[in-house]
Amino acid sequence: MATISTHVLDTTQGLPATGVTVVLQAQDGAEIASVVTDGDGRVSDIAGDDLPTGVFRLVFGTGPYFSARGVQAFNPEIVVSVVLPEHKHYHVPLLVSPYSYTTYRGS
């Protein structure tokens, strides 16, 4: 089975984004797991090792994260669709600011 992790960095502060809710969804939108980033902005294993291959969505709750800091964000949530084509580990970092974001396949 595949596994997936994430790391969220707040590029406006140059710090990890702690307390960001991350929801993992199946392609049809069904929720698989809901987690919150730790003090280092990380979630080491979102859904355990129970993921089959396929297409999934990570929904990052960036609106509440920025709102808690007194900042209005352009993207109240960021949805990143990913394909997990093999049974191995996938890391999906997110670099975020109130008006933009970048993601990539990490290691």
**Known binding-site positions for substrate:** 7, 42, 104
Q: Which candidate, 99, 64, 98, 101, places its Cα nearest to that of 79? A: 101
Q: Which candidate, 16, 28, 8, places its Cα nearest to that of 77? A: 8
Binding site feature residues: 7, 42, 104
Quote the CA–CA distance of 107 and 84 in Å, as a whole number: 13
